[in-house]
């Protein structure tokens, strides 16, 4: 099968790889119809993780079931399914509690597994013609009847729509509240979209890319360009000086100032400053236990100069982590089916798998007009 392989920093290529196949009786194999490039792939692409060379990337997959293991009961040949980026067992203590992003079975010795991901188990990625899905009865979301007409929407259920939603859950967003989102990448846009669906009264989105901020405005959020003045001041100005009720971190450890200088505490400290006392912060942007290639000494050790005193004094709360996609994807699918959500509004390109290396280059540079790339293997 053809697949996108990580060769080293900023070097990926499409190669012939061994076909994905059933390895255990609870597996299925998908013929991938659509798979996306994610901001999480970029941490690996840039060589800022310990991703092994030779591995297939990709964790946002939608496909057709073409092989079914003997122990699979529910999922059938020909089903169109979207799989969460998390690989989860469904029966461990965390999975039982709905915390499938922290499965204790699929990446032994750690909590949480994912396809094509550094440090999250041996699972091959979905930026390929075929994908093996373990514990398929648990992990496959069989899509509604209108799936073929809404592929671009349903594929967002693999990661970023549930992840954006998760950030609003972690922050505790309730209807009528104000929300500030740092990052207008795909995840930040999905966080803003989720907050609006939940009935937030005011949603502010901070970034410095005009094309991404325009997308935020297109759904009714307020764009805050941090290259045109301090983001915190702008948020305070729009919230009677007290700050937003809730804040979402959708950038991660490679956050930077608008000149591009990385500073890993920037967004977290801006959140502490622009969320009101007793407000909630949900952090889904990825932070890592060590980042040897960072310039900052603390960042190298996975630490940051966090404004803990102000955070404590304001009585804020903070929740973090990988999204438990399974906890939301079925319900978000119903919003799509009912026409109440259309997460495809962020899609900027739909390309063949062969074009993926070029797409990585553009998306990595955050070139204007490269917000979310969908890949169509076999097209």
Ligand X SMILES: NC(=O)c1ccc[n+]([C@@H]2O[C@H](COP(=O)([O-])OP(=O)(O)OC[C@H]3O[C@@H](n4cnc5c(N)ncnc54)[C@H](O)[C@@H]3O)[C@@H](O)[C@H]2O)c1
Residues that bind Zn ion (CB under 5 A): 38, 40, 60, 88-89, 92, 95, 103, 105, 159
Pick what 343 binds: Zn ion, ligand X, none; C-beta below 5 to 8 Å, kind-dependent. Answer: none
Minimum gap (Å) between residue 338 Cβ and ligand X: 25
Question: 67-103 burial, b if ≥16 CB within 10 A, otherwise e?
Answer: bbbeebeebeeebbbbbbbbbbbeebebbeeebbbbb
Note whether 343 binds ligand X by CB under 6 A. Answer: no
Can residue 75 be called a binding residue for ligand X (CB under 6 A)?
A: no
**299 contributes a contact to ligand X by CB under 6 A:** no
Range in contact with ligand X (rule: CB under 6 A) among 35-43, 121-129, 236-244, 296-304: 35-43
Closer CB to Zn ion, 239 or 322, in the complex: 322
**Which does residue 103 touch among ligand X, Zn ion, none (CB within 5 to 8 A, set by kind)?**
Zn ion
Nearer Cβ to Zn ion (56/95): 95
- Identify what 112 binds: ligand X, Zn ion, none; CB under 5 to 8 Å per kind: none
Q: Mind spelling out the 3-state secondary structure of the chain? A: CEEEEEEECCEEEEEECCCCCCCCCCCEEEEEEEEECCHHHHHHHCCCCCCCCCEECCCCEEEEEEEECCCCCCCCCCCEEEECCEECCCCCHHHHCCCHHHCCCCCCCCCCEECCCCCCCCCCCCCECEEEECCHHHHCEECCHHHHHHHHHHHHHHCHHHHHHHHHHHHCCCCCCEEEEECCCHHHHHHHHHHHHCCCCEEEEEECCHHHHHHHHHCCCEEEEHHHCCHHHHHHHCCCCCCEEEEEECCCCCCECCCCCECCCHHHHHHHHHEEEEEEEEECCCCCCCCCCCCCHHHHCCCCCCCHHHHHHCCCEEEECCCCHHHCHHHHHHHHHCCCCCHHHHCCEEEEHHHHHHHHHHHHCCCCCCCCEEEECCC
The residue among 149 and 259 lying less far from ligand X, judged by its C-beta, is: 259
Asked if 250 interacts with ligand X (CB under 6 A), we say: yes
Among 35, 40, 239, 274, the residue binding ligand X under the rule CB under 6 A is 40
Does 116 bind ligand X (CB under 6 A)? Our answer is no
Residue 21 Cβ, how far from ligand X at the closest point, in Å?
Answer: 28
Interface mask toward ligand X for 355-374; x: CB under 6 A: -----------x--------
Q: Rounded to the nearest whole angstrom, what is the least distance from the CB of residue 23 to ligand X in the complex? A: 25
Q: Judged by CB under 6 A, which of 207, 216, 288, 329 binds ligand X?
A: 207
Q: Please check whether residue 12 is in contact with residue 356, taking contact to mean a CB–CB distance below 8 angstroms.
A: yes
Residue with tokens 């005011």: 202
Determine which residue in the list 30, 133, 251, 281 makes contact with ligand X, applying CB under 6 A. Answer: 251
Q: How far apart are CA 2 and CA 16, in angstroms?
A: 5
Q: Is 223 in the site for ligand X (CB under 6 A)?
A: no
Total residues in contact with ligand X, by rule CB under 6 A: 34
Return the number of the residue (27 or 207) whose C-beta is nearest ligand X. Answer: 207
Distance of closest approach, residue 326 Cβ to ligand X, in angstroms: 12
Residue 285 touches ligand X, criterion: CB under 6 A: yes
Q: How far is the CB of 319 from ligand X (least distance, A)?
A: 11
Binding range to ligand X, per CB under 6 A, among 139-147, 200-208, 295-303, 311-319: 200-208
Dihedral in degrees, nearest 10, Cα atoms 14, 16, 17, 22: 110
Site for ligand X in 167-196 (CB under 6 A): 182-188
Contact set with ligand X (CB under 6 A): 38-40, 42-43, 159-160, 163, 182-188, 206-209, 212, 226, 250-252, 255-256, 266-267, 284-286, 322-323, 366
């Amino acid at each position: 099968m053809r697949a996108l392989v990580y060769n080293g920093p900023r070097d990926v290529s499409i190669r012939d790889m061994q076909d994905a196949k059933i390895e255990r009786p609870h597996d299925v194999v998908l013929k991938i119809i659509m798979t996306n490039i994610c901001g999480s792939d970029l941490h690996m692409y840039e060589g800022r993780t310990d991703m092994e060379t030779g591995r297939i990337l990709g964790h946002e997959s939608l496909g057709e079931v073409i092989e079914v293991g003997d122990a699979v009961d529910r999922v059938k040949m020909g089903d169109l399914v979207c799989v969460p980026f998390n690989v989860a067992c469904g029966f461990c203590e965390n999975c039982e509690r709905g915390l499938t992003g922290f499965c204790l079975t699929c990446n032994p010795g750690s909590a949480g597994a994912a396809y094509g991901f550094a440090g999250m188990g041996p699972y091959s990625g979905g930026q390929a013609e075929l994908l093996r899905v373990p514990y398929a009865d648990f992990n496959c979301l069989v899509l509604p009847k209108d799936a073929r007409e809404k592929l671009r929407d349903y594929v967002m259920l693999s990661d970023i729509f549930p992840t954006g939603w998760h950030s609003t859950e972690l922050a505790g967003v309730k209807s009528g509240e104000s929300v500030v989102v740092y990052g207008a990448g795909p995840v930040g846009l999905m966080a803003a979209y989720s907050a609006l669906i939940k009935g937030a009264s005011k949603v502010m989105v901070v970034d410095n890319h005009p094309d991404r901020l325009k997308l935020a405005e297109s759904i009714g959020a307020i764009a805050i360009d941090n290259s045109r003045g301090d983001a915190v001041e702008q948020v305070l100005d729009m919230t009677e000086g007290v700050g937003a009720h809730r804040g979402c971190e959708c950038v991660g450890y490679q956050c930077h100032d608008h000149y591009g200088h990385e500073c890993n505490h920037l967004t977290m400290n801006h959140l502490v400053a622009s969320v009101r006392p007793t407000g909630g912060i949900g952090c889904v942007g990825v932070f890592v236990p060590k980042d040897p290639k960072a310039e900052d000494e603390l960042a190298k050790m996975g630490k940051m100069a966090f404004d803990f005193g102000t955070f404590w004094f304001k009585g804020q709360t903070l929740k973090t982590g990988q999204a438990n996609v399974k906890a939301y994807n079925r319900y978000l699918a119903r919003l799509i089916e009912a026409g109440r959500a259309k997460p495809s509004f962020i899609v900027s390109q739909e390309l063949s798998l062969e074009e993926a290396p070029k797409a990585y280059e553009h998306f990595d540079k955050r070139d204007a007009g490269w917000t979310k790339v969908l890949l169509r293997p076999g097209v």
